[in-house]
Amino acid sequence: MKLDLIDIKKAYGEKTVLDIPQMTIEEGKITGIAGPNGSGKSTLLNIISHIDDTYNGKVKYNGMDFSRDIAKNITYVFQKPYLFRRSVYDNILYPLKLRKLDKKTQENLVKDIMKRLEIENLSNKRGHQLSGGESQKVALARALVFKPHLLLLDEPTSNIDSESVKVMEREIVRFNKEREGTVLIVTHNLDQAQRICDTTIYLDSGRVSN
């Protein structure tokens, strides 16, 4: 999914926190969003995902306005993911249930993504019993399992040990290559941006900087 942002302005009270005259996010690419705390990275994802619709300007999705159909093809993984108080398996199954795939297919997809992210051992644990890092891995699995056209990731590896970071990066890249899914990833880690992003946009005080 290609995104065009046109004259985006977002303010809290008197304070402008995002001011982007023009930005294009290319289809099928991994685009990094980097910048210091408070520079507007999460605000940008909130606007693109339409969680926040109190802004000025326009976001176009493959040239179209936001709609329910577009929403269905976007997944947003929050920095502090919200998981249900059910098993990890059920959490990952949930998006497939919504889409009414047949039972066997659902089961295979869930098992496959758990294996790829190396979280099979968490299958029976419940959402609220997981550590921060485990929750981030499960949330990524739940996002990847149904193959969205646009994947929004807010600092997905911020609480993660280096071994798991490798696994997550590998699966994000694989999703991008195999599914040609567009990925927008907020990261503090410039090494990570260099490793996996095709381009990186730097934000500073709500503006794109070089």
Binding site for ligand ADP (CB under 6 A): 12, 17, 35, 37-43
As to burial, measured by CB atoms within 10 angstroms (0-12 exposed, 13-18 middle, 19+ buried), residue 108 is exposed
Q: Which is nearer to ligand ADP, 17 or 138 (CB)?
A: 17
CB of 190 to ligand ADP, least distance (A): 15
Residues in touch with Mg ion (CB under 5 A): 41-42
Helices (H), the chain: 41-49, 68-72, 88-98, 103-116, 132-144, 162-179, 190-196
Alpha-carbon distances of 150 from 36, 61, 71, 73, 175, rounded to whole Å: 24, 10, 9, 6, 11
The answer to whether 49 and 76 have CB atoms below 8 angstroms apart is yes
Which residue type is seen at 41?
Answer: K
CB of 39 to ligand ADP, least distance (A): 4
12's contact among Mg ion, ligand ADP, none, with CB below 5 to 8 A by partner kind, is: ligand ADP
Residue found under tokens 């599914």 = 179
